[in-house]
A and B are shown apart, each in its own frame.
Chain A
């Protein structure tokens, strides 16, 4: 068990809808990362927060947004969903924000858009 908790585990929704994915980092970790894993693209970095502030941005669509709250949990919001958004979404946390310590991953949220 990595100590990172993601909810829900599974989510099925229709095109055009909006969903929120939630992540609780390991105790003591200040940095949260979101990754998308689809069948044909491996793990794609979306966004990173450190102690409530956005630290780095990857290939995150404008329809997607995230935030990290004062208690350090994070949410990833996906809107105007398309079929191609179906994927596994992973949250990871680390102690530092500079990417020089291991990321510890949750078990992901599997999103299916129908």
Chain B
């Protein structure tokens, strides 16, 4: 089963290269951000989060960067692997404490 529709922006990268997925968020008052990965037929899977008092956070092969000045969030994946192919969503906690999701980016990893 497909996870989302056909009109997502798509990032195509070569296996082994680094990937950068970008997200513009809407609310300057948002104070908590999360990246999720969604594979076909599955629910979104937590990757990494960051609070607004930080600019950068690193996990295993992933780094999230937060630029509050321009309301921009990015997810960097090092040494991208075929298993990284999925749809990636950023989410922000808004001022009413709801987690609001972006529209998603499809990552395709070429062998």
Contact A102 B101 (CB under 8 A): no
Contact A42 B103 (CB under 8 A): yes
Contact B93 A56 (CB under 8 A): no
Contact A48 B49 (CB under 8 A): no
For B97, the chain A residues whose CB sits under 8 A away are 55-56, 97-100
Most buried by B among A2, A37, A38, A58: A37
Name the residue on A nearest B96 (C-beta). Answer: A56
A83 interfacial contact with B, CB 8 Å: no
Contact B4 A106 (CB under 8 A): no
Chain A residues touching B, majority SS: strand
Shortest Cβ distance from residue B5 to the other chain A in the assembled complex, whole angstroms: 4
Chain A, 26-51, CB within 8 A of any chain B CB = 33, 35, 37-40, 42-45, 48
For A90, the chain B residues whose CB sits under 8 A away are 43-44
A4 interfacial contact with B, CB 8 Å: yes
Q: How distant is the Cα of A47 from the Cα of B41 in the complex, in angstroms?
A: 22
Q: Which of A35, A100, A106 contacts B93 (CB 8 A)?
A: A100
Query: Which A positions have Cβ atoms within 8 angstroms of B?
Result: 2, 4, 33, 35, 37-40, 42-45, 48, 55-56, 58, 88, 90, 92, 97-100, 102-108, 110
User: Could you list 16 examples of A-B contacts with CB < 8 Å?
Assistant: A2-B43, A2-B45, A37-B4, A39-B5, A43-B89, A45-B98, A48-B98, A58-B98, A88-B1, A92-B44, A97-B97, A98-B97, A99-B97, A100-B93, A102-B46, A104-B46
Query: Which B positions have Cβ atoms within 8 angstroms of A?
Result: 1-7, 31-32, 34, 36, 41-46, 49, 51, 89, 93, 96-104
